Amino acid sequence: MDLGDCYRLLGLRSGASFTDIKVSYRRLAQQYHPDINPDDNKAKEKFIALTEAYKLLLQVVLPEETAHQLSEFSSPARQQKKTMQTEPVSKETVKEKLPTIKPPNLVEIEKRLKWKTYDQLQRFLREKRFPQAIALAEALAARLPEDPEVRQWLAIAYQIWGRALVVQNQPQKARIYLKKALKTDPYNKSLCLEVQRDFQLLEEIC
């Protein structure tokens, strides 16, 4: 299940807001809840799928308040505009006022998001839910494209899924993900060695 599947399950368009996701999940969960449909296996399966999609989306979609803080305080142009709109003050006054300005700590917000997502990623990998792990890692990498650790996590997720596909005798798909692993983190020597072993195993099986 990728992010697109998650949105579709919840009856939402891709990119729906945090609030829309919660509202849609609550509505559908009430409809398909096992307590309401005790003898309906299809309803039970639907409820499980909805809950899984909901949990995955909550890992990658920021609440509106947090997203607003990020957009407000991460743009230099907006900061400059706000400064221009204030009344002119002397340099001395600015120096006195600057220490009292306490915008949201964006580094901490991103850090909490990053490590919360990492914990979820580890759980997906342990449970061998590889498509979900990759969707989660790709979403985090899109949000933090310059973070080398995030790039490494994504490459490892690709490699682990590639190895699983080798074992499942899906060579074509396995090659795709193993190549993605190398492309994502090309200077990681230990990863390169693991990918080489996977390609050797692939050749032996084929």
pTM over 0.85: no
In sequence order, what DSSP letters do the residues of 99-140 get, joined into one string? GG-----HHHHHHHHHHHHHHHHHHHHHTT-HHHHHHHHHHH
User: Helix crossing, 64-74 with 18-32: angle to 10°?
Assistant: 160
66 lies in some domain: no
- Check residue 81 and give its pLDDT: 45
68 lies in some domain: no
Tell me: pLDDT of 8 over 80.
Answer: yes
184 lies in some domain: yes
User: Helix crossing, 18-32 with 41-60: angle to 10°?
Assistant: 170
Co-location of 79 and 141 in the same domain: no
Full domain range(s) for residue 124: 105-206
- Total structural domains within the chain: 3
Co-location of 147 and 81 in the same domain: no
Co-location of 89 and 139 in the same domain: no
Co-location of 15 and 81 in the same domain: no
What pLDDT digit, counting tens, does each position of 95-154 carry? 454 444 445 455 677 788 888 888 888 888 889 888 888 888 888 888 888 889 999 999
161 lies in some domain: yes
Co-location of 40 and 111 in the same domain: no
Co-location of 23 and 89 in the same domain: no
67 lies in some domain: no
Co-location of 109 and 203 in the same domain: yes
Co-location of 54 and 80 in the same domain: no
| CATH of residue 125 | 1.25.40.10
Q: What sign does the dihedral 39-9-50-163 (CA atoms) show?
A: positive
Cα 49 to Cα 51: distance, rounded to the nearest angstrom: 5
What pLDDT digit, counting tens, does each position of 32-89 carry? 888 888 888 888 888 888 888 888 877 776 555 444 444 544 444 444 444 444 455 5
Q: Single out the residue of 145, 147, 141 nearest to residue 121, CA to CA.
A: 141
39 lies in some domain: yes
What pLDDT digit, counting tens, does each position of 145-204 carry? 888 999 999 999 999 999 999 989 999 999 999 999 999 999 989 899 999 999 998 888
Co-location of 32 and 56 in the same domain: yes
Co-location of 94 and 138 in the same domain: no
Co-location of 82 and 118 in the same domain: no
